[in-house]
Amino acid sequence: MEIVGIGLSGGADSAVAAYLLKQNGCQVRGFTMCLFPGSNTEKAAKVAEKLEISLQILPLEKRFEESIISSFVNSYADGFTPSPCVLCNRNFKFGIMQQAILASGCTHMATGHYARLGQAEGGRVRLLRGSDAGKEQSYFLAQLSQQQLAKARFPLGNYRKEDVLQLANSQQLIAPQQGESQDLCFLPDGDFATLVATRRPELCQEGWIVDQNGRKLGKHQGAFRYTRGQRRGLGLGGGPWFVLDVMISENLLIVGTAEKLLSQKVLLTGMNWLRQTPPVGEKLSCIAQVRYRMSPKPAELQNLPDNQAEITFLQAVSAITPGQLAVCYDDQEVIASGWIAKQNSTPDSN
């Protein structure tokens, strides 16, 4: 019998995942993480009680602050747009929590992610998109290692979100009309700018908004508040204007037309290959996406030295944003992923 530790948030997805594991004859144990002061574990406790499983609470506030929240703030302060959920999955859910689950005597760890796993020759684990195209979450798991995936279980991989909600309600696993979990658990209102401004007040300085020729068009109240591709909130006449680059050290925003956001090439760092790493210089055909809510586009992926790679899209894509994760697929299977590197659009001097 498999002994499976389930990461319980108290929401519908993890609750139904635990329920399905029990229905399949697994021995299930619940685990939940306290990640920041005020973390509410009551919902997870109620789900565990309903399912008659144990619940272990992992106090990780200090480590989460150092590894995720501080990194999130510093990324904006450096002109990047971070993806904290990817890091949390790799370092906390499938890092610290998975280690705790396995150390407790469990054989595997499960979560409520909408993704699927498969086996390839030689024992390699294949990470596949979830069946629900509108909800699938393989993108957020693409930095997991083969070792982490080998001990993972995703019971919701073949389910649709509406079916999961229906099952959660029919089994009374969660309170009626319970809201969805927030994408950024430590920012329930999504206001990243206030968090960054509070912790890095030196960044809240007025600066110039310029075009690519260095022509001054207006002023901003802190370049960190903006991200590549942003259109709203610039307060400029003419246009429409889009953010092309965020230059924190110069306290500049560079703006331009939508056409200037188009690019075919993407340099990646911190590569994670879920297939055998190809020789340096080798190119692979794939489909790739440079953000979660993007339809994948045909591309070539080339392995480079120093754990880097380059994606070349067959047709230009818009608003490739430094700090975000790019994920490459072979049909439904994740091939590799890496972090989008920063390439400045330095304006010409007047």
Catalytic residue numbers, as ranges: 88, 185
User: Crossing angle, helix 12-23 and helix 42-51, to 10 degrees?
Assistant: 20
CA distance 324 to 342: 10
31 three-state secondary structure? strand
CA distance 122 to 145: 16
What secondary structure does DSSP assign to 181-213, as a single string?
PPSSTT-TT--HHHHHHHH-GGG---EEEE-TT
| Residue 211 · residue 254 · CB < 8 Å | yes
Residues pairing with 317 in the sheet: 263
CA distance 266 to 70: 26
CA distance 74 to 200: 9
Helices (H) and strands (E) in the chain, counts: 10, 17
CA distance 130 to 158: 6
What phi, psi does 190 have (nearest 5°)? 70, 10
Long-range contacts of 302-306 (CB under 8 A, 24+ apart): 303/271, 303/277, 303/278, 303/279, 304/280, 305/280
What phi, psi does 259 have (nearest 5°)? -65, -30
